[in-house]
Amino acid sequence: MTATRSGPLSDVRVIEAGTLIAGPFCGQLLADFGAEVIKVEDPGAGDPMRQWGQVKHEGKSLAWPVIARNKKSVTANLRTSEGQRILRELVASADVLVENFRPGTLERWGLSYDELQEINPGLVLVRVTGYGQDGPYASRAGFGAIGEAMGGMRHMTGEPDRPPSRVGVSVGDSLAATFSALGAVMALHARNRTGRGQVVDTAIYEAVLAFMESLIPEWEVAGYRRERTGSVLPRIAPSNAYPTADGAEIIIGANRDTVFTRLCELMGEPELATGERYGTHDARGENQVELDELISAWTRQFDADDVLDKLHEAGVPAGRVYTAQDMVADPHFAARQAIVRLMHPELGEFPMQNVVPRLSDTPGEVRSLGPELGEHNAEIYGQVLGADEDQLSRWRADNII
């Protein structure tokens, strides 16, 4: 049962027609803050995320309850004229439509933005694709991994003597979805002044590119090309993973002058903070490798908990490299409710990450887990479209829903 919606977007209705991650994570973010998100799925198998995910339990995807949380599921075959009519009627009362089909798909279905605006001038259309809605690559199929490569992230990720690596989550898709959710909220804010909606055009490669800091001017202005550097950022030191006596690794970030001074005092070598080799940010960058060796020799003397206690007390940023097991056992995660637990009808207590960011007056919340396919057909089609049981039965018989 879906709890009562609250939050800053509780007066917003979103129709989500996307699949996998790039569109649906956008819908998840909006739903987390109270938007009514009606997810339109193919009546056959639904969103592939229902089956996808690295780990399943009792045949159930553990990814689906997370990315579809707080949403309502209806089914409609958008490849049919009747399914397209259903989407038009849903859009008529919506604030936002989220889709991540290949460019031109909505247009072929008679659902271009111009046509949708005739139905609902205030509609915000969020379009997430690999390359954007225009340009020479627009028609290409695009997945998050390709966007990560073209946006510059893959070239910079991994060890320098090995092929490009990847982050262990679909970061390109998630970045694009996050920018899309931001774009949707900004477009709704603009609508308050203009009365009209607009298109939010998010390209995955551009979302990744937006995170690349000074990558472009470094090349064009200084002729410097960033390369893979493993666990460090070049010339940012000390900031690395360091070994401990019990076989663990901890991350220490002490590249700022004042913090490095505190680290040196803790190590019993205060002169390092004022000497020529490590006394300035640039000097530490020049001598990064040998500085890391000095710090590693010190951290190896202690178990991880002991050295972390010393670092925290001294005001030096440091922490373990956490796994999921560490997260669920951590008292700080618990105190801030960073992990929330809901009851799944088949899997029992189901843990997942909570809503980010926190709002003091109108916080978001996780109200429900991902719904069953078409779970809300009767509710949404009855309340929003006025369809009765006879109509629903005809649609089912015709494989429309």
Give the residue range(s) of CATH 3.30.1540.10 domains in the chain. 239-322
Tell me where in the chain the CATH 3.40.50.10540 domain(s) lie. 13-211+336-397
Q: What is the pLDDT of residues 49-108, one digit of tens each?
A: 999 887 788 888 999 999 999 999 999 999 999 999 999 999 999 999 999 999 999 999
Catalytic amino acids? 173
For domain 239-322, give the CATH superfamily.
Answer: formyl-coa transferase, domain 3 (3.30.1540.10)
The pTM score is 0.95
Measured CA to CA, the distance from residue 372 to residue 73 in angstroms comes to: 7
Classified by CATH at the fold level, domain 13-211+336-397 comes out as Rossmann fold (3.40.50)
Task: Provide the pLDDT for residue 1.
Answer: 42
**b/e string for 129-163 if b means 16 or more Cβ within 10 A?**
bbbbeeeeebeeebbbbbbbbbbbbbbbbbeeeee
Tokens of 262: 């505190």
pLDDT < 70: residue spans in the chain: 1-3
Sign, CA dihedral 247-251-255-256, equals negative
Cβ contact 197:122 at 8 Å: yes
Q: Where do we find the tokens 């002991």?
A: 306
Residue 3: predicted pLDDT: 62
Give the bridge partners for 320, in sequence order. Answer: 250
Specify the residue for token string 């390709």.
146
